[in-house]
């Protein structure tokens, strides 16, 4: 998996977990709260593993402005 797919997956899982947590909170259903928490953890874990520069393999998690054109660590162009 490349870093772009990893970023999409991370946001997808965050949205799903937000919905699950909102439903679980409103209906007081523990299973939704547990699933929502697991989705959040899965989103972060896969990003830690896959959301990396394809050249230097350093994490892009600290790029707060989203994906930039160049890696902040090695300066290579991110395609």
- Hey, CA dihedral for 43, 49, 50, 51, is it positive or negative? positive
- Identify residues 43-72 at the interface with Zn ion (CB under 5 A): 53, 55-56, 71
Q: How many residues bind Zn ion (CB under 5 A)?
A: 6
| Residue placing its CB nearer to Zn ion in the complex, 8 or 58 | 58
Question: What does 61-79 look like in DSSP terms, one character per residue?
Answer: TT-TTSS-SB-TTT-PBP-
| Residue placing its CB nearer to Zn ion in the complex, 44 or 78 | 78
List of residues contacting Zn ion (CB under 5 A): 53, 55-56, 71, 73-74
């Amino acid at each position: 998996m490349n870093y772009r797919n990893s970023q999409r997956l991370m946001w997808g899982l965050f949205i799903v977990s937000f919905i699950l947590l909102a439903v679980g909170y409103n209906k007081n259903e523990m299973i939704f709260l547990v699933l929502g928490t697991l989705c959040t953890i899965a989103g972060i874990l896969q990003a830690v593993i896959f959301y990396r520069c394809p050249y230097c393999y350093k994490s892009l998690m600290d790029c707060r402005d989203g994906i930039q054109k160049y890696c902040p660590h090695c300066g290579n162009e991110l395609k």
